Structure 1
Amino acid sequence: MSSSTAGRGVAVNSARLVTVVVLTTAVQTVGSWAVLSFPALATEIGSSLAVEPVFVGSLVSLVYGVAMLLSLVAGQTLRRYGACRQSQAALIAFALACAAAASGNSVGMLVAGLLLGIGYGLINPATSHLLAPVVPPERRNIVFSLKQTGVPLGGILAGLATPAVAVAFGWQTAIGSLALVSLLLATALAPLRPGLDDDRDANAPIFGRPLAGLSLVLRLSSLRWLSIAVFFLSAIQLSLGAYLVVFLVEEVGLGLVAAGALLAATQAAGFSGRLIWGWLADRLGDGNGVMLGLAAVMLLAALATTLVTPSWPLVAVSALFLVFGVAAIGWNGVFMAEIARLAPRGEVGNATAGALVLTFGGVLFGPSFFALAYAGIGSYALTFGGLALAALAAGISLVAGRKISSR
């Protein structure tokens, strides 16, 4: 191969990497924005539908319950239809979900939860499948972390833009406008599909091996312990996102816009954390160790939340939840990179789908258990403190996986 040809090959690879990172980050952002807009507007939606805000937050559990089921086949659907097409399908599901919720009734909210779950169950295996072949191993953590910044970026939009639109035009307009955003992005992906889905197999079965990804994760002990740890970390992350605004409004005494702004700041901390932790994991060559440290920070932050009262200065409340957010929202990119590192060659999509079954299981468990615990305790602050137990369980699992990897 001539030097000029080699140079063109590097350029093509670099161009594809940039394209895939932008694409996957955009899809993650819109999906996260759609899902997290519901808990951000929990008080408004609850008042409109005459239900408790805590139960609106529980809609997130329905979303991730459906996503968990979709993960069983998401690794196979992307093989048949292509990861780009699967991303488009997810965006269309988000659009339909937001349109259904904007109808303003309980049935529409239920339909929205189901459709959001379908969309969210499809995107992570697809985005990891697109990234894995084009990312240099020495940059794996930072690139996967960059892609995963779409989740807190969507949270920032849910915390800032969505409440602002709701105050000005009503919550139904705020939710309904996301349908248009999703459809526009799905349309923008269409010209990219031929180049990005060039590895799809039109004859690949969809339901022939529905448990293939989960079986792979359970069979490999390193992936198994990692996924168990993330079950607990996901429970913490989604509980923080689902109930922070309600806690700040009902127990700390902040207004909806101020509480939404702090949610956005927490998500921004997570956004920065994903880049920082991805860079650090690459620098140290130790993604497991970075995740273990973050579990320790989450444990301490959860315990500190039990001390929060209306008398706390806003700066102190903000500082606590910025620390909480940088840890609880910052680990996902390192986790995805660890899956790509530990998965057998050519099985990153399947391994991601299998690991996400346990990940979404934690998301399903977290907000639901939080709601039940709050019903018994009657205090959001003390219920947040209980998340320290989940952080401890995650740390123990990471240590177990670390010992296996070092053998």
Structure 2
Amino acid sequence: MTTPQRAATAALTTTVATVCPVFLVGGLSVQIMDELTFSPAGLGLAVALYFTTSALVSVWSGRFVERVGVRKAAVAAIVLVAIALVGIAASVTFTMLIVMLILAGPANSLGQLSANALLAKRIPPKRQGLMFGIKQAAIPASTTLAGLSVPLIALTLGWRWAFGFAALLALGALLLLPPNPGAAAKAAPHPAARRRPSAALVVITAAAALGATAANPLGTFIADYAVFRGMSEAFAGMTVTIGGLAGVVARISVGWLADKRSSGRLSMIAIMLAAGSMGLLILLAPGLWTIPVGTAVGFALGWAWPGLLNFAITLRHPDAPAAATGVTQTGVYLGGGIGPLSFGAIVDLWGYPTAWTTMSVLMLVGAALMVVGRRMLLRVT
């Protein structure tokens, strides 16, 4: 029998391992772009393809996890991401970097949904909010590690070593998987209904897509933006670290608060998105000190809600949590793909101020759609 503590540890380490590639690329973007000679638009394209691939396989990944079980799906995700990390370390062209990030996309989807299923099946309901928050906190924790890798590894040994070390750590996550986390969930009694998400779920997924579109460029571009504004590379890396730490604290705190509530979790997400949009505007204020402040606010409010969303959705779909969150994660991944791509293009065409302003507006629209989706959901449940 898998204990709650073992399940939480496995979910956390699997999540960290499978999201590592894209955040390392973001944190080490200055060094990678300089050596492989591509622009911010190219960086946006690479990250966009990673998240787009994750989105394309998300629904399938959720069903795969339910069919084969958590352990097999998690092993596949970890091995795949380790291969991708080694491939990135060996990349000598921008094209090779893109190919490796595309390979890492399915690993991300499988890892996330395996972790969701493990928490939903093995964590007591009264603690699931906190555990989902801790699990999602692993993602900005990866951003923190990426930021720290700049002064510790990239500026000393070189950026390729960071990806090599990450591959070894990812394989180490295999040792922490429970030996028998549970068999695959039985098929829901109405699989046809699961293939047709409700209108409310579609709207919520669209809101998540907009929120992710606006928030995801933070992790990818904030280091380059900080250097553009006049920061040193080392301080820019520390800014990424500050944002990651803020995201870690916020995701855990929001999960803890969600356990104290019997409802209103989607409303909490809407409030966070609205407040997070203000953080993006802070990035444009004069003075270098506004960059770490805006980064912290953006991560802590505008990008700390995915765990809360997963928690809310799994509560309503306890029979097939991986399949259900596979639908909403499609929105998160689509936004994750569209965000860096569009942001990089806007930066190339009109500059960083226009890009951050556009993302702020999109985040506000996402907040409004989340409110609409919640009201629709309440009418059908």
Tell me, in whole angstroms, the C-alpha distance in 1 between the residues paired with 2:88 and 2:169. 15
Residue 65 of structure 2 corresponds to residue 78 of structure 1: yes
Amino acid of the residue matched to residue 276 of structure 1?
Answer: S
Secondary structure in structure 2 of the residue aligned to 1:150: helix
For residue 224 of structure 1, what is the aligned residue in structure 2? 202
- What is the alpha-carbon distance in structure 1 between the residues aligned to residue 227 and residue 167 of structure 2? 28
Contact 1:31 1:154 in 2 (8 A): no
8 Å contact from structure 2 (residues 65, 184) kept in 1: no
Matched residue SS, 1:149 = helix
Deviation, 1:218, is 5.2
Find the partner of 1:238 among 216, 219, 233. 216
Matched AA of 1:268: L
* Displacement of 1:86: 1.1
The 3-state SS of whatever aligns with 1:404 is: helix
Given the alignment of the two structures, is residue 389 of structure 1 paired with residue 356 of structure 2, yes or no?
no
Contact 2:207 2:367 in 1 (8 A): yes
**Structure 1 pair 265/319, CA: closer, same or farther in 2 (3 Å)?**
same
How big is the shift at 1:375? Answer: 2.0
1:290 pairs with one of 268, 283, 299: 268
1:304 pairs with one of 272, 282, 304: 282
Taking only aligned residues, the RMSD between alpha carbons, in angstroms, comes to 2.2
**Counterpart in 2 of 1:9?**
none
Q: Does 1:326 align with 2:300?
A: yes
Shift of 1:53: 4.0
TM-score, scaled relative to structure 2: 0.92
Q: Distance in 2 between the 1:322 and 1:56 partners?
A: 22
Residues 222 and 139 of structure 1, relative CA distance in 2, 3 Å threshold: farther
**Equivalent residue number for residue 370 of structure 2:** 398
Q: Equivalent residue of 1:301, what SS?
A: helix
Deviation for aligned residue 1:244: 0.6
Would you say the 8 A contact 1:294–1:328 is kept in 2?
Answer: yes
CA 1:217–1:396: 2 relative to 1, 3 Å:
farther
Give % identity.
Answer: 22
- Counterpart in the other structure of 1:127: 115
Counterpart among 342, 353, 360 of residue 316 in structure 2: 342
Pairs within 5 Å for 1:3-402: 16-106=3-93, 107-186=95-174, 188-189=175-176, 192-193=178-179, 195-199=180-184, 216=194, 219-250=197-228, 252-285=229-262, 286-307=264-285, 309=286, 312-314=287-289, 316-343=290-317, 345-377=318-350, 379-402=351-374
Residues 226 and 140 of structure 1, relative CA distance in 2, 3 Å threshold? farther
CA distance in 2, matches of 1:323, 1:138: 28
Q: What letter matches 2:76 in structure 1?
A: A
CA 302–319 in structure 1, closer or farther in 2 if over 3 Å, else same: closer
Report the CA distance shift for 1:105/1:227 in structure 2 as closer, same or farther (over 3 A): same
- Classify 1:147/1:272 alpha carbon distance in 2 versus 1 (closer, same or farther; 3 Å): same
Q: Whole-Å Cα distance in 2 between the matches of residues 224 and 42 of structure 1?
A: 34
Contact in 2 for aligned 1:217/1:224 (Cα 8 Å): no
Is the 8 Å Cα contact of residues 145 and 278 (structure 1) preserved in structure 2? yes
Shift of 1:393: 1.5
Deviations 1:283-321 (A, max 9, x none): 2332112111101112222233333x4xx153x432222
Distance 1:42 1:19 in 2: 35
TM-score by length of 1: 0.86
Change (3 A) 1:157 1:217: farther
- Unaligned ranges ≥5, structure 1: 1-11, 205-211
- Return structure 1 stretches of 4+ with deviation > 4 angstroms: none
1:128–1:336 contact (8 Å) kept in structure 2: yes
Distance across 2 between alignment mates of 1:166 and 1:223: 42
For 1:28 and 1:43, locate their aligned partners in 2 and report how far apart those are by CA, in whole Å.
25
- Partner Cα separation in structure 2 for residue 53 and residue 341 of structure 1: 39
1:152, CA displacement in angstroms?
A: 1.0
Distance between the aligned counterparts of 1:102 and 1:402, measured in 2?
43
For the 8 Å contact 2:40–2:344, the answer to whether it is kept is: no
Supply the AA of the counterpart residue of 1:34: P
Q: Using the alignment, how far apart are the partners of 2:9 and 2:171 within structure 1? A: 17
Shift of 1:40: 1.2
- State the distance in 1 between where 2:23 and 2:230 align: 21
Give the Cα–Cα distance (whole angstroms) in 1 for the partners of residues 227 and 141 of structure 2.
Answer: 22
Structure 2: state its 5+ residue gaps.
Answer: none
Cα distance in structure 2, aligned partners of 1:134 and 1:197: 9
Partner secondary structure for residue 169 of structure 1: coil
- 2 CA distance for matches of 1:385 and 1:22? 38
AA partner of residue 146 (structure 2): A
Q: Which structure is larger by alpha-carbon Rg, 1 or 2?
A: 1
User: What letter matches 1:271 in structure 2?
Assistant: V
Query: Which amino acid in 2 is paired with 1:392?
Result: L
CA distance in 2, matches of 1:32, 1:380: 26
Tell me the CA shift for residue 78 of structure 1.
1.6
What CA distance in whole angstroms lies between the structure 2 residues aligned with 1:180 and 1:360? Answer: 26
**What residue identity is the alignment partner of 1:396?**
A
Offset, 1:216: 3.3
